[in-house]
Copies of this chain bind each other. A is one copy, B any other.
Amino acid sequence: MTPRTDRSNDEVEIRQLIDGRVKALHTKDVNAAMSPYAPDLLLFDLAPPLQYRGAAVHRKNLEEWFLTFGGPVGYEIRDLNITAGDDVAFCHSLNRISGARTDGTETDVWVRATVCVRKIGGKWTITHEHVSVPFEMRPPFKALLDLKP
């Protein structure tokens, strides 16, 4: 195969990783959702703190987050762009999180996601992820949860 073909394969594999995660979030399958992450993952998440490290912490947060949804988690990915090198790659997309929460509220928010992966032992693995929304540039500096792409 030519290097070009290899790269196309890498993009396909990374797209499958992203698609698999969407399915796992939708069905609140913690094991499947965690499978693409490296044990020493470094995460910049929607909630504080500024950063946290480790798949174990992410798993715990995800389990708690799933419990706040009464039914399935709506997770739609738009504008997914993948830049793949030989063993390092990054993706960015706009992701819509939606669904009925157990506290009676309805979530429907678009977030920005950057997912950074390394090929480790032949498998694309998420080592860094950054998810956020922008915020208003004047007091009280509210996070902007109603923006649409």
Contact = CB atoms under 8 A, between A and B. Distances in A.
B83 A85 contact: no
Contacts of A134: 44-50, 132
Per assembly, the copies of the chain total 2
Contact of A49 (B44, B51, B135, B147): B147
Interface stretch (A18-26, A27-35, A89-97): A89-97
Given A46-B134, A132-B44, A149-B50, A84 B88 contact: yes
A133 B131 CA distance: 10
A114 B85 CA distance: 17
Given A50-B149, A147-B50, A44 B116 contact: no
A149 to B, nearest CB: 6
B132 A141 contact: no
Contact of A114 (B46, B130, B133): B130
A121 to B, nearest CB: 16
A145 B45 CA distance: 15
19 contacts: A42-B81, A44-B132, A46-B134, A48-B147, A49-B147, A50-B133, A50-B147, A51-B149, A85-B87, A85-B88, A86-B86, A88-B90, A112-B132, A114-B114, A130-B132, A136-B143, A140-B140, A141-B142, A141-B145
Give the 6 A-B residue pairs with the shortest CB-CB distance, closest first: A85-B88, A132-B132, A135-B143, A85-B85, A44-B112, A90-B116
